[in-house]
Structure 1
Amino acid sequence: MISKYDILIIGGGAAGFFTAINIVEKNPQLKVAILERGKTVLEKVRISGGGRCNVTHACFVPNDLAKFYPRGEKELRGPFHQFCSGDTIEWFEKHGVELKIEDDGRMFPTTDSSTTIINCFQNATKQLGIDVLTSHSVQSLYKGDGYWKVETHHESYLCQQLVMTTGSNPKVWEMLQELGHTIVPPVASLFTFNIKDARIKDLMGIASLAQVTVKDSKLDATGPLLITHWGMSGPGILRLSAWGARILAERNYQFSILVNWLPETTPEEAATLLKDLKLEHAKKVVSKKSPLALPNRLWESLVIASGIAEDTKWADLSKLQLQQLAAQLTAGEYKVNGKSTFKEEFVTAGGIDLKEINFKTMQSKLHDGLYFAGEIVNIDAITGGFNFQNAWTSGFIVASQIS
């Protein structure tokens, strides 16, 4: 049996639903279906942001927003001028979902529940008559003369236009390769660093602003660093993992980082600062209380790592000890041995080569009637709602083009 649709969307995630809804809202006469290989839809939406769904980010200037994408910055400038974060807020408000801005710029539904976003999408697809077909794993794609044929385990489908929103699905990438598309090999992005080091042992949960540099590279990032039971995480580390995704993969996730717990401060400047503290706190015990913007336990650990006994007073510090403490504070070297996925928010760098996509339309340059939205293409962002914004923007552009 063959079912016919005007448009088929393969992939029942954020980009797939957003694209489908926008297509039918613009052209109610079109017959649209979403094919999803799993038993449920919108799973990534459900778990994102710790179950709250980080919908977008409060960055409203297109060119500034594009800078949060290690891969895709140049290509997304134009699309963001068509549909940016402010448009996302307006779209969700029109669909009954109010968003709020948190201190770090991330935006969530005011309900703090991803279910709000899922219900919004599912209610819209029902009202618009969009068919959502689960457990439909695509087995093959065939390009005919003015039509596409899609075969799943259950059935065959014909459509005039095909939208791929499957994210980092190797099987689908393989099918697209057979159609002539180039796939940039996927590597992990947004991951944390596995580090075993006496300086951070038993300091789980401690966070501090830090500048982190990958040794023997130009990679560096500044942001909150969180010490975990497996090593280091936090926005600064995640940012570094995103920008360095390919370089760190080439090193097989075996490398060293230099941590500056006093960002923008050189070892020489730190040594001068410590000399002043030595005079100011002469009678106090060095390890007892942090005189800098560092958590006390982290300070104590770095003091001990500098060869300073726990009961040493500031007045008794030698020149060498001051230099060693300055080095620990501004250029401590930590060996990274592997990575861990950041929560469930697994993101890959890789996908359809950006040169093969028309970013004014999100259509394939190789095949008419073939469109892409979301993470199926070689675009990814740092954490903070940016990957979802790419899904909304690319989905909106596809819908505008097809309509």
Structure 2
Amino acid sequence: MYFDLIVIGGGAAGFFSAITCAENSGKSVLILEKSSQLLQKVKISGGGRCNVTHACFEPRELSRSYPRGEKSLIGPFHRFGAADTVEWFGRRGVVLKTEADGRMFPDTDSSQTIIDVLLDAAEAAGVRVHTSEGVTSVVRNEDAFGVATDAGRSYTAANVLLATGGTRNHAGDELAGRLGHALAPATPSLFTFKVDDPRLEGLLGLSVSPADVIIRGSRLRSRGPVLITHWGLSGPGILKISAHGARDLAELDYRFDISVNWLPDTDPAEVVAEKRLDDAKRQISTRSPFDTIPKRLWVSLLAAAEIPDATTWAQLAKKDANRLLGQLTDSTFAVTGKSTNKDEFVTCGGVALDEIDFRTMESKLVPGLYFA
């Protein structure tokens, strides 16, 4: 069976590529997805709400958020960036809203909205979709590709696009490697930190924004919301630093210390001094004096600073105040691992960037082979 384009991978990138090709050229397109489900990471992204893009509409600024592809992505973002993404979904009846941290979600707050749009657009454009059909080999012949699958089928395609996502399972990079591409080793990226610390007990779901995170003994640092989970620490502030430090943290076997400043935009010493004057008789544990720190975390940090619940602001000794300031601005946590592979959205590594023409996303080595 012949197709003008075979897309390997039924995720967001694969669907978007297939739709774009079919709509703009009218060519025959087939998506091959090895699992029984389509767009599964779209479904769970953003906690089931699907953060579609980011409200950053200047290509050079947006590219700075990519730790290993900054220069390469400036050109592609000029040709199709966040504003184009917003417009693309808008034409299809999906309104994207912007949250305080810049993330953009469908106004329905449901990832199913995005899934439905992609599935409907693919069907309308005539894209064929086969699930439970993993690709076992791709061979470049004289003027076409031969594609074989684990369902025992063989296809011929003028062009092939690899959209297999992260290289953790080695499906996409093995195919690219057999076609002659050099491969950077796969390393997990965008992961949460495993932390077992009494200060976090009973605080599941609590978030502080913003917070500063520093990897001790390195130059790695980030700012953003930090979320306390049953596993440890997550949220954009953690995920961002894990992406930028993907290789460094892997070399440390995901065992290192981090420092969290829960109040990066506040002078807590000044607030404490004011409280000692204005609320001298009030118990410190009654309420958090900082808007961004919930009471449960405040009480936990007080305990870590060895300050009894009944202590009033007037009774707060200087040494106790210093310990409390340390907990607020320099909480050190021992990281003993990362989230499991199944939870990761991104891997660092894969096809070498200098082997791709970023004007077209076509392989420089194999004509007709493309990457998403």
TM-score, scaled to structure 2: 0.91
Relative to 1, partners in 2 of residues 1:307 and 1:121: Cα closer, same or farther, differing over 3 Å?
A: closer
Of residues 151-160 and 343-352 in structure 1, the stretch that sits farther from structure 2 once superposed is 343-352
What is the distance in 1 between the residues matched to 2:205 and 2:137?
A: 48
Relative to 1, partners in 2 of residues 1:271 and 1:86: Cα closer, same or farther, differing over 3 Å?
A: closer
Of residues 108-117 and 87-96 in structure 1, the stretch that sits farther from structure 2 once superposed is 108-117
Cα deviation digits, residues 33-71 of structure 1 (max 9, x gap)? 122212232222223233333222222111122122223
Partner residue in 2 for 1:360: 359
After TM superposition, give the deviation of residue 241 of structure 1 in Å: 1.7
What is the distance in 1 between the residues matched to 2:241 and 2:177?
A: 30
Relative to 1, partners in 2 of residues 1:150 and 1:299: Cα closer, same or farther, differing over 3 Å?
A: same
Q: Please tell me whether the aligned partners of residues 213 and 261 of structure 2 are also in contact (alpha carbons under 8 angstroms).
A: yes
Please state whether the residue corresponding to 1:33 is helix, strand or coil: strand
Partner residue in 1 for 2:2: 4
The residue correspondences of 1:12-91 to structure 2 (distance < 5 A) are: 12-28=10-26, 30-91=27-88
Kindly indicate whether residue 193 of structure 2 is the aligned counterpart of residue 193 of structure 1. yes
Partner residue in 2 for 1:287: 285
Relative to 1, partners in 2 of residues 1:282 and 1:45: Cα closer, same or farther, differing over 3 Å?
A: closer
After TM superposition, give the deviation of residue 276 of structure 1 in Å: 4.3
Partner residue in 2 for 1:134: 131
What is the distance in 1 between the residues matched to 2:337 and 2:137?
A: 36
Matched residue type, 1:301: S
Partner residue in 2 for 1:228: 229
Q: Please tell me whether the aligned partners of residues 36 and 132 of structure 2 are also in contact (alpha carbons under 8 angstroms).
A: yes
Relative to 1, partners in 2 of residues 1:127 and 1:207: Cα closer, same or farther, differing over 3 Å?
A: closer
What is the distance in 2 between the residues matched to 1:40 and 1:272?
A: 55
Kindly indicate whether residue 140 of structure 2 is the aligned counterpart of residue 143 of structure 1. yes
Partner residue in 1 for 2:238: 237
Partner residue in 2 for 1:203: 203
Higher relative contact order (CA 8 A, sep 6+): 1
Matched residue type, 2:371: F
What is the distance in 2 between the residues matched to 1:39 and 1:272?
A: 58
Relative to 1, partners in 2 of residues 1:327 and 1:151: Cα closer, same or farther, differing over 3 Å?
A: same
Please state whether the residue corresponding to 2:177 is helix, strand or coil: helix
What is the distance in 1 between the residues matched to 2:203 and 2:39?
A: 36
Cα deviation digits, residues 117-153 of structure 1 (max 9, x gap)? 3333333333332221222211111111222111113
Matched residue type, 1:200: L
Matched residue type, 1:217: S
Cα deviation digits, residues 189-240 of structure 1 (max 9, x gap)? 2222221222222222332232111111111112222222322222212222
Matched residue type, 1:285: Q
Of residues 239-248 and 42-51 in structure 1, the stretch that sits farther from structure 2 once superposed is 42-51
Please state whether the residue corresponding to 2:284 is helix, strand or coil: coil
What is the distance in 1 between the residues matched to 2:341 and 2:101?
A: 18
Partner residue in 2 for 1:325: 324
Partner residue in 2 for 1:389: none
The residue correspondences of 1:99-114 to structure 2 (distance < 5 A) are: 99-114=96-111
Partner residue in 2 for 1:157: 155
What is the distance in 2 between the residues matched to 1:363 and 1:142?
A: 16
Partner residue in 1 for 2:296: 297
Matched residue type, 2:325: A
What is the distance in 1 between the residues matched to 2:205 and 2:30?
A: 45
Relative to 1, partners in 2 of residues 1:342 and 1:212: Cα closer, same or farther, differing over 3 Å?
A: farther
Partner residue in 2 for 1:310: 309
Relative to 1, partners in 2 of residues 1:296 and 1:42: Cα closer, same or farther, differing over 3 Å?
A: closer
Matched residue type, 1:225: V
Relative to 1, partners in 2 of residues 1:342 and 1:237: Cα closer, same or farther, differing over 3 Å?
A: farther
What is the distance in 2 between the residues matched to 1:272 and 1:55?
A: 40
Q: Please tell me whether the aligned partners of residues 48 and 345 of structure 1 are also in contact (alpha carbons under 8 angstroms).
A: no
Please state whether the residue corresponding to 2:65 is helix, strand or coil: coil
Q: Please tell me whether the aligned partners of residues 208 and 225 of structure 1 are also in contact (alpha carbons under 8 angstroms).
A: yes
After TM superposition, give the deviation of residue 345 of structure 1 in Å: 5.7
What is the distance in 2 between the residues matched to 1:121 and 1:274?
A: 53
Of residues 172-181 and 282-291 in structure 1, the stretch that sits farther from structure 2 once superposed is 282-291
Please state whether the residue corresponding to 1:316 is helix, strand or coil: coil
Please state whether the residue corresponding to 1:283 is helix, strand or coil: coil
Partner residue in 2 for 1:184: 184
Q: Please tell me whether the aligned partners of residues 225 and 237 of structure 1 are also in contact (alpha carbons under 8 angstroms).
A: yes
Q: Please tell me whether the aligned partners of residues 48 and 344 of structure 1 are also in contact (alpha carbons under 8 angstroms).
A: no
Instruction: Give structure 2 stretches of 5+ with no counterpart.
Output: none
Q: Please tell me whether the aligned partners of residues 190 and 342 of structure 1 are also in contact (alpha carbons under 8 angstroms).
A: no
After TM superposition, give the deviation of residue 303 of structure 1 in Å: 2.1
Partner residue in 2 for 1:117: 114
